[in-house]
Amino acid sequence: MDAKANGPSAKQSGRAVDGPTNPMVTPLLTDLYQFTMAYAYWKAGKHNERAVFDLYFRKNPFGGEYTVFAGLEECIRFIANFRLTEDEISFIRETLPSCEEGFCDYLREIDCSDVEVYSVSEGSVVFPKVPLLRVEGPVAVVQLLETPFLNLVNYASLVATNAARHRFVAGKSKLLLEFGLRRAQGPDGAISASKYCYMGGFDATSNVAAGMLFGIPLRGTHSHAFVSSYMSPDEIVEKSLQSADGSSTCEDFVSLVQTWLNKIQWLHSLRGTFGETNQSELAAFTSYALAFPNNFLALVDTYDVLRSGVPNFCAVALALSDLGYKAVGIRLDSGDLAYLSSEARIFFHTIEKEFGVSGFGNTNITASNDLNEETLDALNKQGHEVDAFGIGTYLVTCYSQAALGCVFKLVEINDQPRIKLSEDVSKVSIPCKKRCYRLYGKEGYPLVDIMTGENEPPPKVGERILCRHPFNESKRAYVVPQRVEELLKCYWSGKSDKAREELPLLKDIRQRCIKQLEQMRPDHMRRLNPTPYKVSVSAKLYDFIHFLWLNEAPVGELQ
């Protein structure tokens, strides 16, 4: 835990909240103008005015019609431990030399005990315009939270959504492995990617640090370097391997492997399918199996997948089977993955049939090699036998879209609603403190998200409600909800006595995400031409938005 976590703001109702996962997430991880505004608020005596900000986004990423919300836990960890150190205050003084000393005294005292955070549950499927977070508190303090919150939510939600899209294309039955550490944008990009890809539906990661930090299952085998580092089986000094049940020991596992390779070669020589395999590759596989007999998974494309890699793997796997072990499978990292996986599967079934090794035909086939959403879709259309996909670059860098574009807008101050206007209607903010609901239909699918004023009565099951597009007067519909879910819940209540939600475990957030995605109507989820999900406001809020719009917009004058 960060040392700052011992301060008074790190606890709420007696419950401690750990500091941010990344120690670089401090109050200085913000834009300079947050501190210049804080000073200006303080100088004008406005710094303690009660403000309400909404954090939301305007458009779904990747050409889709849904987004997965992520990053909430890190936001709560940040504000629970929000205190400026003397070194940080000294740096602000140096950066803004014209500031009065009293502002530094103010900075020494501030924390987030007067802040309240209401949020959609992490792992939820969310849509444009609906607040993901509503942050209430002294305007200067909340202003200092803007950039860190956006930083913690934007990438987290983007990569979780990217992971969910890959899961949707791959299908429920495939194992998805995140292999992006070496290609991610720096250490934090890698750690965050591992966490939020797991949240979005991936099964495991190669990132050992993420495995320790978050309890994500780890997967990995060996590289081409390991294979090419061997010259021949003669290099293997320790050749013995105890059986799986410990009852016996094979003194020369290398010879056992060679015996099985001879049988495989004899069998296939009758069919003319291949000749001699690469002996250095066989040595590497044998050595790896001696080290990991319970987890033998071989990278088979160093020299030639079908002529060498697969038969060499089979020889080692059959030798392991003689001793009671079951090999995990192979990994393909290059070439025509659809063809190679199909041919490897045929090979495995032939081995099972000819040598009577039960289940060998179902040996796992993992594929990697710069996979992305499009290549997964293409493989599905071609037909393949891949059981697991290792995906890295395109997943963790969110190659097809650089950023989500969340914004943080003032919607109320001192109980007075505020609106941000723009010639681009999509950038007009929705004013005032709001409550947000998801309305479900008869078939159990979400029909529409609706925002209402804070004091409006909530939608009721079985009661018809008019849902209006926030800005287009012709887009409106009546809905009779069969279930109503309130979206914004209190996750940080400061020093108030309001009950707050507990932060769930990562595995529970992941399950929520998977369940939410399964609840969505299929036409909202499809890759091509998905149906836009409807986001609306109540009739009363619609009227107020347009009243405030007209009241705040300057009136032109024609000459």
Q: What is the average per-residue pLDDT within 500-525?
A: 96
Q: What is the average per-residue pLDDT within 320-346?
A: 97
pTM for this entry: 0.94
Binned at pLDDT 50, 70 and 90, residue 4 comes out as very low
% of the chain beyond a pLDDT of 90: 92
Rounded distance, CA 226 to CA 515, Å? 40
Q: What is the average per-residue pLDDT within 155-178?
A: 98
pLDDT recorded at residue 273: 57
Rounded distance, CA 330 to CA 310, Å? 8
Q: Write the CA distances from 32 to 27, 78, 96, 150, 261, integer angstroms.
A: 11, 18, 10, 15, 67
Low-confidence winner among 4-13, 225-234, 355-364, 365-374 (lowest mean pLDDT) = 4-13
Q: pLDDT of 37-46, one tens digit each?
A: 999 999 999 9
Binned at pLDDT 50, 70 and 90, residue 3 comes out as very low
Binned at pLDDT 50, 70 and 90, residue 271 comes out as low
**Amino acid of residue 490:** C
pLDDT recorded at residue 270: 52
Judged by phi (left if over 0) then psi (alpha if -120 to 50, else beta), residue 435 lies in beta
Binned at pLDDT 50, 70 and 90, residue 269 comes out as low
Residue with tokens 């499927």: 125
Does pLDDT of 491 surpass 60? yes
Q: What is the average per-residue pLDDT within 485-493?
A: 98
Q: What is the third-level CATH fold of 3-164+401-552?
A: nicotinate phosphoribosyltransferase (3.20.140)
Q: Write the CA distances from 534 to 125, 127, 139, 468, 479, integer angstroms.
A: 13, 9, 32, 9, 12
Q: Where are the domains of the chain?
A: 3-164+401-552, 221-386
Q: What is the third-level CATH fold of 221-386?
A: TIM Barrel (3.20.20)
313: Cβ contacts below 8 Å, ≥ 6 apart:
285, 298, 300, 327, 330
Binned at pLDDT 50, 70 and 90, residue 2 comes out as very low
pLDDT recorded at residue 1: 31
**Is 538:453 a contact under the CB 8 Å cutoff?**
yes
Q: What is the average per-residue pLDDT within 527-531?
A: 94
